[in-house]
Amino acid sequence: MSRKFMKGNDAIVVGALQAGCRAYYGYPITPASEIAHAASLHFPALGGTFIQAESEVAAINMVYGTAGMGIRTMTASSSPGFSLKQEGLSYIAGAELPCVVVNVSRGGPGLGNIAPEQADYFQVTKGGGHGNYRLIALAPNCAQEMCDLTVLAFDLADTYRNPVCILADGFTGQMMEPVNVPLARPVPFDHTSWCVRGDAATHRNLISSIYLESADLERHNLKLDEKYRRIARDEVRFEEYQVEDADLIVVAFGIVSRIVYSTVDQARAQGLKVGLLRPITLWPFPSDRIAELSRRDVRFLSAELSTGQMVEDVRLAVEGRAPVHFYGRCGGMVPGSEELLAEYGKILEGGRS
Amino acid sequence: MKITEKPVAFYPEFVRKSGPHKETTHYCPGCGHGNIHKMIAEAMVDLGINERTVFISPVGCSVFGYYYFDCGHMQAAHGRAPAVATGIKRANPEAIVISYQGDGDLAAIGTAETLHAANRGENITVFFVNNAIYGMTGGQMAPTTMIGQKTATTPRGRIETVHGNPIRMAEIIATLPAATYVERVAIGDSKHIMKARKAIRKALTNQVENRGYSFVEILSTCPTGWKMDGPDARDWLVEEMTKVFPLGVFKDESDHREGAWHRHVETFEPAKRDAYLGAGEAEAKAEKLPLPAELHCKFAGFGGQGVLTLGLFLAQVGMRAGLHASWIPSYGPEMRGGTANCSVNLSERRIGSPLVDRPNLLVVMNQPSLEAFTGEVVEGGTIIVDTSVVENCPELPGRRVVRIPATGIADEVGTPKVANVVLLGAICAATGAFPLAFVEQSLRETVKKKDLVDLNLAALRRGYEHVRDAV
Ligand code: SF4
């Protein structure tokens, strides 16, 4: 490994290349554009493909085509562009194709602004497009994870033949940190059984999401559902900091988890027993762990760059056993340490649901 | 070969088809799709490409193309076939990619994808089945519906001023420089069919020979949508449709495009990627330098003064020292009006927030930044001020203010552009975070242009000495 100081957005491209991603399709949008910039430089230099598509819609469908060939491929965008990809994601999930989609999210709804927000949580974790499907959603909080979780994303996509979303935010995309560049690996997946490569071995295969007969479509949906249950059981990832004896467990992901991390020690210095639970997979959500923690005398606080989205999943996991609070900023406003500490104090002093 | 025979690329029995009748197509009697399918299958066999072919089924009556052709199939969303085709072809240029689309798919919802795939000159073949109506969804108006034609959504006939005019896609595509071959044919009488068969074969041959993008528009019948019987439909096609959609070749550069569109895909060797990205290189000498105190810094000034780069330099020095380091540019209103700032953290421990709201080191290169950020500096913190630019710099109780005419010094060294490096020297002297020699070495490695290294080193030293001597 070698250590390089790089932007989160660039680290995504490094991770993708080292994971064996061979084709990038995308459309520029702030604050995700550096991913396209880096991809346009590196993919062709290595003999891979970069196309600046005519739209986000076209980009995700180019991904569909390449994924159907059994080749690792990706696209990246930011919130408004991610919305445009929903149609394609539904088809890709329906046809069970592996691919990676990055959403370096920004403020919305609508055009919003280019500042970071986490208000695409619902869209990313609950489907977004039409029909019964799920994206595996990974939430990096540093440049190293932008790289490493991208590698993981490709493996998960191939394992489950499902699109995987990396939900980052403008901060994790724009900040620079040291990154250990992982070694490149050969792709261990053989997709001959289902892909369509344009060769004799695969020419009887069919990639499609159409099931005209109701019974067939139900069967297909149940099969997908079974897969999503397996993912929910086996792929939950999260990180904890000082939760064991915490009176207040702050649930936060992405950039907010970094800010919360900074405040945990400060809070403890003030005598407030605060801990951090950071979901790394937003779907599947670490519901079981939260449920387990909620069985003792504890309070939860969901801190987000939104008006309250992940908090619903926290509440579902807690099932009323413990108070669940919410603190959010949006539009590019981020909670400072002092602001958060004040909030912790307020909650622990008497509680305010 | 008569078109009533089944070419071998056409399955003898349609096992993927639902329902009991596995020998009949799902198309209505008199529908043009069946004939067009057979002509394509016939060409696939003659060219020996059926195992190499990937057929993209669109949304519409021909969504079930995979019932019939013995080749690879991908079904695409409405209008997106040319984008899917692009993804297929770029992944494997050896694949023969057929995008088979109806008029809604190609000329309404997928106009953008259609034009752009043609404009990129993708080495694919597009068969555009134009039957002037939406068949599958129940006979609504298509972009190609004729003026006066009655459909489910133009019950009084298509009216130019209300619904617009029928779109002539072949003519439009022919204007794009990258398109190789564009022809409009029809499956009316047998003469038409002969021409159609030739055009289909040519469009596929072009792809086999890597001659680029081919587009064949085929005027076709939809007796069901048109509410006509088969013979009437054929007559209407020949008599009415060809008036609006004239048959013929609109562009043909097949002869002088030989092989030009073959895009080679190289092997994607791990070793090559590692070498390219520098992964696996011996780690830069892992010097672990102790940090006297964590640094949470803010660098602010006008855009163009190099404040963001200054932060970057410091963070990189930190990384080389084996520390945790983060750098993040600001968002928000300070970005406007030419003012820029960034936050840098250096720590021996994992860094929490990369955003610095209470810096213990503030470096300011303009007056507005001084006013905006001094109040945030923690007690005991340090403020370094470029006094060449900032004139009013009051004493601040509990904060150490280091004054240095950085831009002036940089000017003396050679260029005001290295004022930020002068400040880097000042930071080292003021904080004692890194030995000068270590920063010099880092700078040597960081500054890309070799002829600028000495200039930078001089600036660094001058900044360092100025602060050291002032203390
Ligand atoms: S509706 Fe028209 S296009 Fe569709 S199968 Fe019937 S005749 Fe053919």
What number is the ipTM of this complex? 0.96
User: What are the chain A neighbours of B16 within 8 Å (beta carbons)?
Assistant: 206
Q: In this predicted structure, what is the pLDDT of residue B284?
A: 53
Q: Using CB atoms, which residue from A18, A176, A332 is nearest to B327?
A: A176
Q: Output the six-digit token pair for A82.
A: 């991610």
Q: Using CB atoms, which residue from A2, A17, A176 is nearest to B273?
A: A17
Give the percent of chain B with pLDDT over 90. 82
pLDDT above 50 for A352: no
Q: What is the mean pLDDT of residues A254-260?
A: 97
3-class state of residue B12 by DSSP:
coil
> Using one digit for the tens of pLDDT, what is the confidence trace for A19-51?
999 999 999 999 999 999 999 999 999 999 999
pLDDT above 80 for A89: yes
Q: How far is the alpha carbon of A147 from chain B, nearest alpha carbon, in Å?
A: 13
pLDDT tier for residue B267 given thresholds of 50, 70 and 90: confident
Q: In this predicted structure, what is the pLDDT of residue A1?
A: 53
pLDDT tier for residue B451 given thresholds of 50, 70 and 90: confident
Q: In this predicted structure, what is the pLDDT of residue B22?
A: 87
Q: In this predicted structure, what is the pLDDT of residue B264?
A: 64
Contact B406, B459 (CB under 8 A): no
Q: What is the mean pLDDT of chain A?
A: 96
Q: In this predicted structure, what is the pLDDT of residue B206?
A: 97
Give the range among A138-147, A280-289, B4-13, B144-153 with minimum mean pLDDT: B4-13
DSSP state of B264: -
pLDDT tier for residue B238 given thresholds of 50, 70 and 90: very high
- Residue B233 Cβ < 6 Å to ligand 1: no
Is residue A296 classed exposed, middle or buried when 0-12, 13-18 and 19+ CB atoms within 10 A define those classes?
Answer: exposed
The answer to whether the CB atoms of B278 and A196 lie below 8 A apart is no
User: What are the chain B neighbours of A174 within 8 Å (beta carbons)?
Assistant: 328-329, 331
Q: What is the mean pLDDT of residues A345-350?
A: 90
The answer to whether the CB atoms of B278 and A2 lie below 8 A apart is yes
Q: In this predicted structure, what is the pLDDT of residue B195?
A: 98
pLDDT above 70 for B361: yes
Residue with the bigger pLDDT between A31 and A352: it is: A31
Give the percent of chain A with pLDDT over 70. 99
Q: In this predicted structure, what is the pLDDT of residue B447?
A: 86
Q: Using CB atoms, which residue from B84, B265, B270 is nearest to A185?
A: B270
Q: In this predicted structure, what is the pLDDT of residue A76?
A: 98
Q: Count of residues for chain A?
A: 353
Q: In this predicted structure, what is the pLDDT of residue B448?
A: 82
The answer to whether the CB atoms of A208 and B54 lie below 8 A apart is no
pLDDT above 70 for B334: no
The residue assigned the tokens 């009887």 is: A204
Residue with the bigger pLDDT between B330 and A259: it is: A259
Give the range among A19-23, B165-169, B443-447 with minimum mean pLDDT: B443-447
Pocket mutation for ligand 1, best pick of B62, B136, B151 (most atoms within 8 Å of C-beta): B136
Of all residues in chain A, the one with the smallest CA distance to B19 is A213
For residue B119, the surrounding DSSP H or E stretch is helix B111-120
Per-residue 3-state assignment (H helix, E strand, C coil) for chain A: CEEEEEEHHHHHHHHHHHCCCCEEEECCCCCCHHHHHHHHHHHHHCCCEEEECCCHHHHHHHHHHHHHCCCCEEEEECHHHHHHCHHHHHHHHHCCCCEEEEEEECECCCCCECCCCCCCHHHHHCCCCCCCCCCEEECCCCHHHHHHHHHHHHHHHHHHCCEEEEEEEHHHHHCEEEEEECCCCCCCCCCCCCCCCCCHHHCCCEECCCCCCHHHHHHHHHHHHHHHHHHHHHCCCEEEECCCCCCEEEECCHHHHHHHHHHHHHHHHCCCCEEEEEECEEECCCHHHHHHHCCCCCEEEEEECCCCCHHHHHHHHHCCCCCEEEEECCCCCCCCHHHHHHHHHHHHHCCCC
- Residue B225 Cβ < 6 Å to ligand 1: yes
Q: What is the mean pLDDT of residues B436-453?
A: 91
Q: What are the E-state strand segments in B253-388?
A: 295-302, 324-329, 339-347, 361-364, 382-386
pLDDT tier for residue A274 given thresholds of 50, 70 and 90: very high
pLDDT above 60 for B3: no
What are residue B165's phi and psi, to 5 degrees? Answer: -105, 160
Rounded distance, CA B342 to CA B308, Å?
6
Give the range among A19-23, A187-191, B334-338 with minimum mean pLDDT: B334-338
Contact B36, B195 (CB under 8 A): no
The β-bridge partners of B345 are: B296, B326
Q: What is the mean pLDDT of residues A328-345?
A: 95
pLDDT tier for residue A185 given thresholds of 50, 70 and 90: confident
Residue minimizing CA distance to atom 6 of ligand 1: B28
Residues with Cβ < 8 Å from B83, sequence gap 6 or more?
Answer: A53, A57, A58, A59, A61, A62, A64, A65, B76, B113, B117
pLDDT above 60 for B376: yes
Q: In this predicted structure, what is the pLDDT of residue A270?
A: 95
Helix axes B81-91, B111-120, angle to 10 degrees: 30
pLDDT tier for residue A238 given thresholds of 50, 70 and 90: very high
Residue minimizing CA distance to atom 5 of ligand 1: B27
From ligand 1's centre to the CA of A337, what distance in Å? 65
pLDDT above 60 for B358: yes
pLDDT tier for residue B333 given thresholds of 50, 70 and 90: very low
Rounded distance, CA B468 to CA B471, Å?
5
Q: In this predicted structure, what is the pLDDT of residue B81?
A: 98
Q: What is the mean pLDDT of residues A269-281?
A: 97
The answer to whether the CB atoms of B53 and A68 lie below 8 A apart is no
Q: Output the six-digit token pair for A98.
A: 């592996």
The answer to whether the CB atoms of A207 and B91 lie below 8 A apart is no
Q: Output the six-digit token pair for B75.
A: 């079904």
Alpha-carbon distance values, B179 to B90, B172, B212 (Å): 17, 11, 7
3-class state of residue B180 by DSSP:
strand
The β-bridge partners of A77 are: A103
Q: What is the mean pLDDT of residues A236-258?
A: 98
pLDDT above 70 for B262: no
pLDDT above 60 for B366: yes
Of all residues in chain B, the one with the smallest CA distance to A23 is B91
The pTM assigned to this predicted structure is 0.95
Q: Using CB atoms, which residue from A25, A186, A200 is nearest to B270?
A: A186
Contact A264, A241 (CB under 8 A): yes
- Residue B224 Cβ < 6 Å to ligand 1: yes
Q: What is the mean pLDDT of chain B?
A: 92
